[in-house]
């Protein structure tokens, strides 16, 4: 069984500003519809760009360290043991950044739905995700200013 204090890391990302390791402890324990992940962020790193979800509510628990949380209300520092919930929609926009000199760990929980749409607020991108975590997973990222908007019944442009 997985242990959140001694996780087996499943994923490592080495992208400047967004480097981190992640353990999908929910999957490791057999969960199919519940996303539970341990993240470790080094100094100066962020979990993801500032974003919000259209389908999934998320929750975060600080396991160690003092992450900085950005929301529509601004920045604030979190403490070990603190629980924060991010509702769906723009009001739930969030980003976690390690602005300290030591690594930190967070535990993230979500509904882990098969289909999700995520808006990356600062970059003008929208991500569409299907079958996440499965062999047939699909991810598409669109720039909002070049995306086509049409209503039901209208023909999309050729």
pLDDT (tens digit, 9 = 90+) per residue, 112-130? 888 999 999 999 999 999 9
pLDDT (tens digit, 9 = 90+) per residue, 37-89? 999 999 999 999 999 999 999 999 999 999 999 999 999 999 999 999 999 99
Range of the domain at 31: 11-113
When divided into structural domains, the chain yields a total of: 1
CATH number at residue 73: 2.60.120.10
Whole-model pTM: value is 0.87
4 in a domain, yes or no?
no
Q: In what order do the strands lie in the sheet with 83-86?
A: 11-13, 20-23, 35-41, 104-110, 58-64, 83-86
3 in a domain, yes or no?
no
Please state, as a whole number, how many other Cβ atoms lie within 10 Å of the Cβ of residue 139.
Answer: 12
Contacts with 98 (C-beta within 8 Å, 6 or more apart), sequence order: 41, 42, 43, 44, 45, 46, 65, 67, 68, 104
138 in a domain, yes or no?
no
């Amino acid at each position: 069984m997985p242990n959140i204090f001694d996780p087996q890391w499943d994923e490592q990302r080495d992208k400047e500003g967004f480097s981190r390791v992640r353990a999908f402890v929910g999957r490791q324990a057999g969960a199919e519809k519940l996303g539970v992940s341990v993240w470790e962020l080094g100094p100066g790193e962020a979990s993801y760009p500032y974003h919000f979800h259209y389908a999934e509510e998320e929750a975060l628990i600080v396991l160690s360290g003092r992450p900085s949380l950005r929301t529509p209300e601004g920045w604030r520092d979190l403490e070990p043991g603190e629980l924060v919930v991010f509702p769906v929609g723009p009001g739930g926009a969030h980003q976690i950044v390690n602005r300290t000199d030591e690594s930190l760990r967070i535990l993230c929980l979500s509904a882990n739905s098969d289909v999700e749409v995520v808006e990356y607020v600062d970059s003008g991108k929208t991500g569409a995700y299907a079958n996440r975590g499965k062999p047939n997973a699909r991810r598409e990222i669109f720039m909002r200013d070049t995306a086509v908007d049409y209503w039901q019944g209208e023909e999309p442009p050729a």
